[in-house]
Structure 1
Amino acid sequence: MGDMEDDAWQMVEKKGNQFVVNDEPFYVNGFNTYWLMVFAADDSTRGKVSEVFKEAASVGLTVCRTWAFNDGQWRALQKSQAVYDEEVFKALDFVVSEAKKYKIRLILSLTNNWEAYGGKAQYVKWGKDAGLNLTSDDDFFSHPTLRRYYKAHVKAVLNRVNTFTNITYKEDPTIFAWELMNEPRCSSDPSGDKLQNWIEEMAVFVKSIDPKHLVEIGLEGFYGPSTPNRVQFNPNTYAQQVGTDFIRNHQVLGVDFASVHIYADSWISQAISDTHVQFTKSWMEAHIEDAEKYLGMPVIFAEFGVSTKDPGYNSSFRDTLISTVYKTLLNSTKKGGSGAGSLLWQVFPQGTDYMDDGYAIVISKSPSTSNIIALQSIRLAMFNSVCSWKCHWGCKKKNALETILYHDEL
């Protein structure tokens, strides 16, 4: 896959339906490890950060999504509103500098919809402590003071100067993109207006501080009221009542690409079945089509996986599910479509089982899964290097590529 020299380490940009680096396509095979910053904050666990990057790089993974927030909780980055723990910030600096070492780019998420690591509930708590009259965690999206709190955090992270590299985050090509929030939902307003308004304000705000990096919302991909003809693709009826609206949310100034999550085992049924695989395929194909037809942007399937705790789970089902995701993406990639990549939930190094939510993949302990991941990485790396944007896949190279990419089924 070739070593990238430091001077070639450039920002990821978007061109039509694709990501590009230096005007060459950049298709993504990546992963999630959300807890890197808190592990880096303690000398006894810091080595695990390097370990996970090293293992991921060994199977060709090039992008990692992780948290750039920890609000008011254990090893908090933001101890109280706008008060930061410098040691934890240095830990995040370490994560960014270490990622660069292993040529892995980062999608950094800026807060959480859920209570883990603080998130919107913590912002609401800070607001109440300051005497605001707040009735719901969803006030995070609408109350002007809480919006100011969030913006202050965005500003602190984007303007941070890395103590290891001396590069400001907003200037660092190691960062692939900013994510506004992990899985935003606003169930108190099923119309979707409240969340839409927040996305419109925050996407432009992030861009005003950092016009160079890409921005995405962090959505799960549920269809809402603006597209009644698409809600049939939702995993259940509840999905259209959580205040998100996939197409409308992504038609916002400042949003560069779409994000979708895939959890058949928590959305449809916990028990493993073929339905999970069918849903995964149709869910992906619907969103790839939308990204091409309505959005004109790339889409990343930013979380997908299956839990070892599910009834009927076995590792060959996990391999089938991952292969389905990869193959569906390749079908889009070979046509120059919007399917731009995927991020496994989640890759762990050895010895971190106590953090496992059931979805952890330890590369060194999972040879069959690792082979599938590595094969996808090789295929995407070939696409990235053999094709240049200018030929737009209408070239003589296509047949040779097809032979290499598809000589064996995934």
Structure 2
Amino acid sequence: MKRLSILPLLACAVALLAGCAAGGQGDEQAEADPGFVEVDDMSFIRDGEAYPYVGVNMWYAAYLGADAPYGDRERLGRELDRLKALGVTNLRILGASETSPFGKSLKVTFRDESGDYDETLLEGLDTALAEIGERGMTAVIYLNNFWEWSGGMGTYLSYVNGGEYIDLGDPAYPWPAFPNFVADFYSNDEANALFRDYAEAVVTRTNSVTGTPYVDDPAIMAWQLANEPRPDPDAAQGNAEMAAFHAWIDETARFIKSLDRNHLVSTGNEGMMGCNGSAFCFTGAHDGDAIDYATFHMWPRNWSWFDPMDADGTIDGAMAQVGAYIDQHIALAEELGKPIVLEEFGLDRADEVLTPGSPSPHRDRLLRAVYDRVERSAASGGPLVGTNLWAWGGYGRAQHADGEWQPGDTSYTGDPPQEPQGRNSVFDVDEATLAIIEDHAEAISAQ
């Protein structure tokens, strides 16, 4: 069901004589109000000043903000206060989830197959944005997911194909059956119509806490098309699969821009590792004028650069690959002439321990290397101007001794349901890691 609001149009009519346009509605729009993050060449700016940012992933912010048994508004405030004290200025958060058939997926979601949107959870997003804005921070909100843990693209396909799906990790359908299935989303008009209806409802929403339309809210830095959209594994330059991926990015970004001209739009793409190793794929996903900045992610363990069972023997090689991967994407961003953000990266604790406060020497080494590279880039006018550590666990704790997520869990450690709770989480008691984040924030703010 399509949900359109007449409030922005009424606001436009009332303000027309004053020369105001209503937040993204219509052909003309007033210049963005102070406080919006903008792009200037290969930099972010806010209030006329450079805005290189220190960020974290906290996908569960809207869930904490909900006035429901699964919410915890008091914890939300404590988490944001702790992050602000560390110097963190940006949060990457989930703004969409779909009730799905996948085994390891969220069970409380923003929407279901019927098209009914969960107002309680949407009000949780309102609360999260109100709290983020009150602290002068900003949010990047992703509106879909390639992966199964929040429903995502595969769920939309199941809504329109009679309920058929392939679950990630199903031994009957080994890799790459799952990404082959999900990539069909890009060219499925019916599934995309459902997605666009939801995206429009969110982007044009008015915050129930502040009364501010989302399109006019400086607490939102950017809308993100999806978490880690990647092409079909068979996609290559010149074939239909790659063309479908690029077309979906451009068309979806333009659709969001047609609703909201105040905010930036980004892809959420992982970079070369999420593009079948193709520079053509990566640059083609980010070179359109509806995409304001580039993104990439970096997972040394997942990509077999680092072996936690032989941590000391593999960390040096992993760090060499980390440096090369970052430099590769800085060069691609320079070619694009756009800023770039490393918006996911992380590593295990020593011996794969999940316990908050336990040593994480290899993760800390990774953080130092990444932050040093960002500081040097920002100082020299380079394009790498932001990071979002995966993931902020803060005051959350795994609810089960084995660290496995179970339906109904509300502890929100930062790790999504399919992963051990605590694997990549930075908790409030991880003092050595917190000191690294704080030092980096001080260095960035001094530039």
**TM-score of the two chains, using structure 1 as the length reference:** 0.82
Aligned pair 1:36/2:86, yes or no? Answer: no
Mapped to 1, the partners of 2:140 and 2:301 lie a distance apart of: 25
Q: Give the C-alpha shift of residue 81 in structure 1.
A: 4.6
Q: Secondary structure at the match of 2:98?
A: coil
Confirm or deny: 8 A CA contact 2:349 2:362 kept in the other structure. no
What are the Cα deviations for residues 322-349 of structure 1, in whole angstroms up to 9, with x where unaligned?
0000001112111111011111101122
Confirm or deny: 8 A CA contact 2:39 2:292 kept in the other structure. yes
Which residue does 2:72 correspond to in 1? 45
Mapped to 2, the partners of 1:371 and 1:130 lie a distance apart of: 48
Which residue does 2:16 correspond to in 1? none
Among 324, 342, 346, the alignment partner of 2:369 is 324
Among 300, 306, 326, the alignment partner of 2:347 is 306
Which residue does 2:127 correspond to in 1? 94
Which residue does 1:85 correspond to in 2? 118
Q: Secondary structure at the match of 2:186?
A: helix
CA gap 1:276/1:122 in 2 versus in 1, 3 angstroms: same
Confirm or deny: 8 A CA contact 1:186 1:244 kept in the other structure. no
Mapped to 2, the partners of 1:351 and 1:155 lie a distance apart of: 32
Aligned pair 1:26/2:51, yes or no? Answer: yes
What are the Cα deviations for residues 336-376 of structure 1, in whole angstroms up to 9, with x where unaligned?
110111111011222433443401001x3122211111111
Which residue does 1:282 correspond to in 2? 324
Among the aligned pairs, what percent are the same residue?
26
Map 1:11-410 → 2, pairs under 5 A: 11-41=36-66, 42-43=68-69, 45-72=72-99, 74-129=107-162, 136-187=181-232, 189-191=234-236, 192-222=242-272, 239-240=276-277, 245-268=281-304, 269-271=306-308, 272=311, 273-292=315-334, 294-308=335-349, 314-354=359-399, 355=413, 356-362=421-427, 364-383=428-447
Mapped to 2, the partners of 1:224 and 1:375 lie a distance apart of: 31
What stretches of structure 2 of length at least 5 have no aligned partner? Answer: 1-32, 100-105, 165-179, 237-241, 400-412, 414-420
Mapped to 2, the partners of 1:296 and 1:149 lie a distance apart of: 34
Which residue does 1:401 correspond to in 2? none
Q: Give the C-alpha shift of residue 267 in structure 1.
A: 0.5
Confirm or deny: 8 A CA contact 2:350 2:360 kept in the other structure. no
What are the Cα deviations for residues 169-223 of structure 1, in whole angstroms up to 9, with x where unaligned?
1111000101101001232542222211100111111111111100100010016
Confirm or deny: 8 A CA contact 1:217 1:259 kept in the other structure. yes
Q: Give the C-alpha shift of residue 319 in structure 1.
A: 1.3
Return the letter of the residue paired with 1:375. D
Mapped to 2, the partners of 1:277 and 1:29 lie a distance apart of: 21
Confirm or deny: 8 A CA contact 1:319 1:372 kept in the other structure. yes
What stretches of structure 1 of length at least 5 have no aligned partner? Answer: 1-7, 226-238, 384-410
Q: Secondary structure at the match of 2:269?
A: coil
CA gap 1:249/1:201 in 2 versus in 1, 3 angstroms: same
Mapped to 2, the partners of 1:310 and 1:187 lie a distance apart of: 34
Q: Secondary structure at the match of 2:301?
A: helix
Q: Give the C-alpha shift of residue 13 in structure 1.
A: 0.3
What are the Cα deviations for residues 265-312 of structure 1, in whole angstroms up to 9, with x where unaligned?
1112433321221111111111112111x1111000001111237669
Q: Secondary structure at the match of 1:13?
A: strand
C-alpha RMSD of matched pairs (Å): 2.4
Query: Where do 4+ consecutive residues of structure 1 move more than 6 Å?
Result: none
